Structure 1
Amino acid sequence: MQNNITCQHISTTSRVRGEQKNQRPVVIWLTGLSGSGKSSLADALEQRLISKGYHTYLLDGDNVRMGLCKDLGFGDQDREENIRRVAEVANLFLDAGLIVITSFISPFHRDRALARSVIGDDSFIEVYLDTPLSECERRDPKGLYSKARQGLIKNFTGIDSPYEAPTSPQIRIDTLNHSIEGGVDIVIDYFERWNAQ
């Protein structure tokens, strides 16, 4: 079946669509443990970018799991497929000229590397929300760590499934020492310097 598919040339590029919106398209990929603050930071970041006149789209892990990826479980292969789909969707929004914010645990090096390869190194900003497991468990906003500790949730990142922290993210936010707004300031500062290049 794949042999009968040919890539159709489209004249309008991501750059052209971005110029129409007066912005440089990019994917800002937030990664970190459950409870590290990814969704909160992503939401606040999008609000800040919109207030500055940027055109954005936010892809959040739970929301995507309710639709596009509702057929997937949480084993390693399904997690890999989840991130592959998200990377492809993010790349489509990037092609539309948008600033895309993604909020996914994305626990494995290989999956984040795959996302970067799909999107392109020049259009991928990796943001690591560095929060100790003990702090994430203390916060436990959805009660998931408690369930995982009781054996009610299997393959839970940080408990019985590993989280491979990024070794060289473009941005690292220590969430013990930065508020959500402080984290947004760090990302905005990096983004605006990147955008001006």
Structure 2
Amino acid sequence: MQFALRRSTNIRWQQLSIDKAARAQQKKQVPVCIWFTGLSGSGKSTIANLLEKRLYDSGKHTYLLDGDNVRHGLNRDLGFTEADRVENIRRIAEVAKLMVDAGLIVIASFISPFQAERQMARELFSKDEFIEIFIDTPLAECEKRDVKGLYAKARRGELKNFTGIDSAYERPEHPELTLDTCLLSAEECVEKIIQHFSALQLVNK
């Protein structure tokens, strides 16, 4: 049985007059997706928030997509099974792509534990539009911080499919930048990111 109103075979790409280059030129910036990955408690959200503030204060047009925040709305129907995690990242990657097309500097902060899904996200973007930043904080340190009490729940068996405990985290193979929060403060991490982007001429220091 065919469902004409539900099948993607009945749609086509609509050509628009204003493109990504025009939107970026209007904002006087290079649109890019800055993708933070790392364990829960690694410091991703803190660093991402500080980075956005730094970019915003310098006149850049930004948007921060945060894992917890997105699950309150767009992805509130998803749980934490492996399949749901994959779909969570797929949706976020597509949203980030739209925002980059709008000319924005998009900061995405997600555990994104699987290499295949991070690679899927990367492949949605043009070359140099996707920058993966690995917040490399050891599991023991993340558990020590445990600001949300999630690791304790997972250890007690009250929280299933928790990354690092009973669900795997696959370390990035070739991230553009790796930051160790045991050695660097959040502010120092942001400075490293700004220095990296300045070298690529993506932002002004």
User: Could you state the TM-score of these two structures normalised by the residue count of structure 1?
Assistant: 0.97
How far did 1:119 drift? Answer: 2.5
Q: 1:55: which partner in 2?
A: 61
Q: 1:33: which partner in 2?
A: 39
How far did 1:109 drift? Answer: 0.2
Q: Secondary structure at the match of 1:159?
A: coil
**C-alpha RMSD of matched pairs (Å):** 1.1
How far did 1:167 drift? Answer: 1.2
Which of the residues 62, 71, 77 maps onto 2:83?
A: 77
- Give the letter aligned to residue 42 of structure 2: S
For residues 92 and 83 of structure 1, the distance between their equivalents in structure 2, rounded to whole angstroms, comes to: 14
Q: 2:169: which partner in 1?
A: 163
Gap regions ≥5 residues in structure 1: none
How far did 1:196 drift? Answer: 5.2
Q: 1:193: which partner in 2?
A: 199
Identity level (%) = 57
- Give the letter aligned to residue 62 of structure 2: T
Q: 1:68: which partner in 2?
A: 74
Instruction: Number of aligned residue pairs: give it.
Output: 197
Instruction: List 4+ stretches of structure 1 deviating above 6 A.
Output: none
Q: Secondary structure at the match of 2:168?
A: coil
Q: 2:51: which partner in 1?
A: 45
Q: Secondary structure at the match of 1:113?
A: helix
Rg larger in 1 or in 2? 2
Note if contact 1:90-1:119 (Cα within 8 Å) is conserved in structure 2: no
For residues 15 and 187 of structure 1, the distance between their equivalents in structure 2, rounded to whole angstroms, comes to: 24
Note if contact 2:31-2:129 (Cα within 8 Å) is conserved in structure 1: yes
Q: 1:4: which partner in 2?
A: 10
For residues 61 and 119 of structure 1, the distance between their equivalents in structure 2, rounded to whole angstroms, comes to: 20
For residues 202 and 143 of structure 2, the distance between their equivalents in structure 1, rounded to whole angstroms, comes to: 39
- Give the letter aligned to residue 77 of structure 1: A
Cα displacement string for residues 7-29 of structure 1 (whole angstroms, at most 9, x for unaligned residues): 11123221211111110000000
Whether 2:181 is the aligned partner of 1:178: answer no
How far did 1:120 drift? Answer: 3.0
